[in-house]
Amino acid sequence: MSSSWMLEETTLPKLDFLGQGNHGYISLVRTPDGLLMAKKTSLLKYSENLEKASRILNHFSFINCNIVRPTSPIVNYQTMPYDVKVCSIYMELSPHGSLLDMKAKAGGILPENVVGYCILQVLEGLRDLHRHGYVHCDLKPENILIFSSYTPGELCELKLAGFSLAKEPNGPNPVECLFKGEPDYLAPEVAGPGGMISSPVDIFSLGVMVSEMLGAIVTDGGTRTYFTGGLSPLAKDFVRRCIVPHPVARATAEELIYHPFVRQSLGVPPFEMLPVPSCLSNGVVQGRLF
């Protein structure tokens, strides 16, 4: 267990800004013994969301799955200058940013074999999440982080992050909160006062995300789905199975893991495709990873 499992806030100066979340911002911090971590900080009024995210990360922390690991089991509270009260959680640092960063580095469109390689790991994370009764509710490229892989023949490992809008088992349906996220990724059953959250919500978001990464625009024409962009027949079939209007008819993560689109034997993407945050690539920030 890391010596930083229980953290002392005052010893963790912020080294850089990593990104903006739904209810706060992500910064890079380093412990006195050199461990680099990602710190998510939110205003106190969002503490319930951060506490929920912390519970979910801790629930999966000792399970071998594609979900980001916490580097501390608790939510920390502190008072900033001008009496601003905030709370924060700590997670392992992604040395290669997110799928959004990878897409940007590739010029906005990723090759199909790269998307399939990445989405297979996303599906494995969703399968484990759904098996335990959780729904991510905010699946999008910036919430899928990229880590180095230590498995021979594999380039990278992808993990789900960003659980502040998630639905817990037997928990309330966070329908109103979802519209503060990314409406383009929302499944149709979420809309309206009677909207319900279940695991197919994540599958719909996955389908939209895959089409975007491949440079396609998907339009629901009522009884027919139209694709604008060069998608292969395998990719079209995969996306269609994700964005079926009725949630019961959508494929599950377990089923999609065996879809030919993510099982194509096209090899792993080249190392050059992996993004690296500027704060880590310029050699100024030094430290070890969790």
19 shares a domain with 115: no
Map residue 216 onto helix, strand or coil: coil
- Domain end marker among 40, 72, 93: 93
Closest by Cα among 125, 104, 136 to 205 = 136
Listed residues 45, 75, 93: the one ending a domain: 93
Based on the fold, state whether residues 112 and 81 are members of the same structural domain.
no
Which residues have C-beta within 8 Å of that of residue 283, sequence separation ≥ 6? none
pTM attached to this predicted model = 0.89
Q: Is 40 annotated as a binding residue?
A: yes
With 90 as the cut, is the pLDDT of residue 58 above it?
Answer: yes
Residues 156 and 46 occupy one common structural domain: no
CATH code, 198: 1.10.510.10
Instruction: Work out the average pLDDT over 117-121.
Output: 94
pLDDT of residue 266: 62
Please give the pLDDT value at position 130. Answer: 97
For CA atoms 50, 182, 254, 290, the dihedral sign is negative
Q: What pLDDT does 278 receive?
A: 79
pLDDT of residue 269: 72
Position 289 scores a pLDDT of 81
Residue 247 and residue 113 share a domain: yes
Mean pLDDT in residue range 147-170: 89
| Predicted confidence band of residue 2 (pLDDT cuts 50, 70, 90) | very low
Same-domain status, 150 and 258: yes
Farthest CA pair distance, the chain: 59
In a domain, 287, yes or no: no
Written as one letter, the residue type at 255 is E
Going by pLDDT thresholds of 50, 70 and 90, the confidence category of residue 64 is confident
d(CA 231, CA 33): 48
* Residue 281 counted as domain residue: no
- 115: confidence class by pLDDT, cuts 50, 70, 90: very high
**Both 155 and 42 in a single domain?**
no
**Is residue 187 scored above 90 in pLDDT?**
no
* Residue 46 shares a structural domain with residue 115: no
Is position 166 within any domain? yes
| DSSP codes joined into one string, 110-172 | --HHHHHHHHHHHHHHHHHHHHTT-B-S---GGGEEEEE--STT--EEEEE---TT-B-TT--
Containing domain of residue 184, as a range?
A: 99-271
> Within this chain, do residues 83 and 124 fall inside the same structural domain, yes or no?
no
CATH of the domain at 64: 3.30.200.20
The verdict on 48 and 116 lying in the same domain is: no
pLDDT surpassing 80 at residue 284: no
Of these ranges, 16-20, 78-82, 164-168, the one predicted with the greatest mean pLDDT is 164-168
User: Residue 39: inside a domain, yes or no?
Assistant: yes
Question: Do 133 and 190 fall within a single domain?
Answer: yes
Q: What is the mean pLDDT of the chain?
A: 85
**Pairing mode, if any, of strands 144-148 and 14-21?**
unpaired
150 & 247 share domain: yes
Per-residue pLDDT reduced to its tens digit, 212-268 = 999 887 666 545 565 656 788 999 999 999 999 899 999 999 999 999 999 886 666
Is there a single domain that holds both residue 134 and residue 85? no
Q: By percentage, how much of the chain surpasses pLDDT 90? A: 51
Residue 241 domain-assigned? yes
Q: Report the pLDDT value the prediction gives residue 106, as an integer from 0 to 100.
A: 92
Q: Which residues contact 192 (CB under 8 A, 6 or more apart)?
A: none
Whether the pLDDT of residue 4 is over 80: the answer is: no
Residue 103 lies in a domain: yes
- Most confident range, picked from 21-30, 94-103, 269-278: 94-103
Q: Of 59, 93, 127, at which residue does a domain stop? A: 93
Number of domains making up the chain: 2
